[in-house]
Amino acid sequence: MPQYITAYSQNLIECGDLLSIMYPTQLGEWVHISSLTSYVFSSPKSIIMLKDKMRKTDEESLSAKGITLLALINANLTIDAVTPIFSKKPIRGLQDLKGMRLRAPGKILEEYIWKPLNVNVLEIPISEVYMAMSRGLCDAAKSGTQRLLALGLHEVCRYVYLDSYVSGFTPSYIVCSSKALAQLPKEMQGKILEAGKRVEEIFWNDAYFNPKKYGMSSEIDALNEAQAKGMEIAFLPSDVFERIQKSAEEGIKDLAQKTGEQGKYFAEQVFQAKNKYPSRESAVYNWLMTIKKSK
């Protein structure tokens, strides 16, 4: 993957996209902080505030590599893009997580979220989870609801647990080679930069909140499907939820200390955004509360 940074820098690729967390060595280890943001935010307003504060840092990091940032969007494409846990057994408290065999992506989450909870993270391909659960080798899996349903996990799991209110902020970049851009006429350069700006505006002002309008799937629709298949949906118990949030905050602070000034700045902006919007304004939270009231 690192070769893509070099390819853009050397104008071997003129235009495309990059996902920040895939390039910690090239952009800076501070990008890992984004993996924990979903666990500390309660409102999408925090995500938007963080995006606004971090755009200049992202732009400068890319520019230093000879890459021009055209548009900054969220890899979590929709306001409700949480990644729940499908579990074979109920989770009633912290004690139920001890020794749980969970298939979950991401070394950062394993280190800062799951290990402190004494969860055993399994490194198996997502395509093999159904078989592992059927054979009693895996207790739970974390991913997008639609993906887990497509794998048939509703046939071997009864419970769906939400471990965050929002999706967090994982920067995704639409970029071009700075060399390629500089070779174009000034008028064309301006049009490309303006097009990127327009894409970013459409995403954050409309597409992020109205995914169906742009042909993107909704996590809430997938959760409704899971419920229709007989699955029980809930947030993790409060003691677990609070422990995860605390672990995420501690993880962000630890990463900030390890990743220089950029990491400290990123962490500072995360906590400012969290404190600015503490209310639960999550689309998924509101959806689940509405369901509970209707029962």
The CATH code of the domain that includes 7 is 3.40.190.170
pLDDT (0 to 100) of residue 231: 96
- Domain annotation covers residue 272: no
Instruction: Write down the mean pLDDT value for the chain.
Output: 94
Stated pTM of the model: 0.90
Q: What's the pLDDT band for 170 if we cut at 50, 70, 90?
A: very high
Mean pLDDT value across residues 106-117: 94
pLDDT (0 to 100) of residue 293: 77
Does 65 score more than 70 pLDDT? Answer: yes
- Domain annotation covers residue 270: no
Q: Are residues 220 and 210 in the same domain?
A: no
**Cβ neighbours for 44, distance < 8 A, ≥ 6 positions apart:** 79, 166, 208, 209, 281, 282, 283
- Domain annotation covers residue 50: yes
pLDDT (0 to 100) of residue 1: 52
Give which of 37, 32, 31, 90 is closest to 57, Cα–Cα: 31
Q: Which helix (H) or strand (E) holds 177?
A: strand 171-177
Q: Are residues 155 and 281 in the same domain?
A: yes
Q: Are residues 55 and 201 in the same domain?
A: yes
Cα–Cα dist 195/200, whole Å:
9
Cα–Cα dist 127/138, whole Å:
13
- Domain annotation covers residue 29: yes
Q: Are residues 74 and 22 in the same domain?
A: yes
Q: Are residues 36 and 161 in the same domain?
A: no
Q: What's the pLDDT band for 285 if we cut at 50, 70, 90?
A: very high
Give which of 37, 30, 17 is closest to 61, Cα–Cα: 30
Residue 215: count other Cβ atoms within 10 Å of its Cβ: 7
Residue 257: count other Cβ atoms within 10 Å of its Cβ: 11
Q: Are residues 95 and 238 in the same domain?
A: yes
Q: Are residues 107 and 225 in the same domain?
A: yes
Q: Are residues 246 and 151 in the same domain?
A: yes
Q: What's the pLDDT band for 142 if we cut at 50, 70, 90?
A: very high
Q: Are residues 131 and 11 in the same domain?
A: no
Q: Are residues 186 and 100 in the same domain?
A: no
Mean pLDDT value across residues 163-183: 95
pLDDT (0 to 100) of residue 276: 97
- Domain annotation covers residue 74: yes
- Domain annotation covers residue 65: yes
pLDDT (0 to 100) of residue 274: 97
Q: What's the pLDDT band for 101 if we cut at 50, 70, 90?
A: very high
- What domain count does the chain have? 2
pLDDT (0 to 100) of residue 28: 86
- Domain annotation covers residue 239: yes
Mean pLDDT value across residues 200-210: 95
- Domain annotation covers residue 265: no
pLDDT (0 to 100) of residue 25: 85
72 strand-pairing partners: 173
pLDDT (0 to 100) of residue 278: 94
Domain span including residue 135:
85-166+216-260+277-294
Mean pLDDT value across residues 261-290: 94
- Regarding beta strands 85-87 and 232-235, do their DSSP bridges make them parallel or antiparallel, or are they unpaired? unpaired
Domain C-terminal end among 214, 229, 249: 214
pLDDT (0 to 100) of residue 295: 64
Does 3 score more than 70 pLDDT? Answer: yes
Q: Are residues 13 and 146 in the same domain?
A: no
Q: Are residues 232 and 244 in the same domain?
A: yes
